[in-house]
Structure 1
């Protein structure tokens, strides 16, 4: 919901400070996750965070913190993937639709999004599986508390700390299986995209 309109704006839109906005959005890609987690911890431990807590939105050492950490870590990656997919689409189709009277919204819904559908689905799967293995930022914001803020990576960490190698291996195997299925699904979608691209090239020729 956040990545698709943002990626579309960055590829098709024109607005002031577009380059600066793109740099800020993609900055977390080059930052260590522990640093991102520390930034979130400082933000939500400030007066702003305390105000949110008083309104009922707890982040630090709460499940909401897991969601915030996942968004900050994975949203730039999702935007980059979808932006690349939009940039590879042939704009001639959108231009022709615009000449025929279609609005920008109609062009997006009927042309751009359907053509990029497989790429968007592939990005969702990859980012979701990648998010399951995120540990550094989540640990900084919510810690690792059994049955409260325990994610799969946190489960591995806690089980290793207590010497329960079997439970740690079980969590690791779950992550590996999910990663395998995700990569298999995305490879199938990429193959379909390649076939569609070849058919489109033949059509234009």
Structure 2
């Protein structure tokens, strides 16, 4: 019994150590902040543009990520096919390669003949919002697929088999049986992708640059304020970014919790 209590104390202590590490960083911002600084920063036209751009690009990125991640995750969960292990391994590519290196790879791609043709005749990515979305998309796609694959793994394949046995077409089974059963995974994948895209910096700045009122997302705005030695403005922007991200994650947790209660 005593050893069990010691284990409990040690593990709870580790959990509170995490709270102390991250919470301490957030609280430390208060040394450079006051209500006037935050209000002045939020009212800035440049800050408002950065917030709008970040929200728009993160939302579009999360939606595009799910469009590809949902069918890809289902294939990885249900089927065995040539190249499956390679694809599963490459999902960790954004983890192995730093965001800055990923952005540099995109720049290199757009300087080869195919990339230059895409830039000239299809979509211009470099120094444009499309580049922001592309950089964020490549950064969050692996996360979305991983979350959704886990959700599909938890759905018994027998349920789909029974539905098909009763005469339901495969696409009808997928949309009316499988997807509703992974709705919590869909919500979680979207919110995590959105929050990660919102805070993405390295790949974005490499592809889209730091142009004010054009490609300056919130993380880039934070970098630019810090580069200008504006500590108070930097802290205010960090508070805005953290508030947006944590609010979305908290709302998703509450929504997923209600979904579980409704199912029960």
User: TM-score, length-normalised on structure 1?
Assistant: 0.88
State the secondary structure of the residue aligned to 1:45.
coil
Residue matched to 1:9: 75
Deviation at 1:87, TM superposition (A): 0.8
What is the aligned counterpart of 1:18 among 73, 84, 90? 84
What is the aligned counterpart of 1:35 among 65, 89, 101? 101
- Structure 1 runs of 4+ with >3 Å offset: 192-197
Count of aligned residue pairs for this structure pair: 198
Residue matched to 2:218: 152
* Correspondence 1:136 to 2:196: no
Residue matched to 1:75: 141
Alignment of 1:32-181 (within 5 A): 32-181=98-247
State the secondary structure of the residue aligned to 1:2.
helix
- Contact persistence 2:144–2:190 (CA under 8 A): yes
Higher RCO (C-alpha under 8 Å, 6+ residues apart) = 2
After superposition, the C-alpha distances for 1:117-145 in whole angstroms (9 at most, x for unaligned) are 12201210121011111001111112211
Deviation at 1:3, TM superposition (A): 1.0
User: Within 2, Cα distance between the matches of 1:37 and 1:101?
Assistant: 48
Residue matched to 1:182: 248
Unaligned 5+ segments in structure 2 are: 1-66
Q: Which moved more, 1:25-34 or 1:120-129?
A: 25-34
State the secondary structure of the residue aligned to 1:67.
helix
Cα RMSD over matched residues?
A: 1.8
Deviation at 1:15, TM superposition (A): 2.4
Name which one, 1 or 2, has greater alpha-carbon Rg: 2
- Contact persistence 2:198–2:245 (CA under 8 A): no
Deviation at 1:11, TM superposition (A): 0.9
User: TM-score, length-normalised on structure 2?
Assistant: 0.70
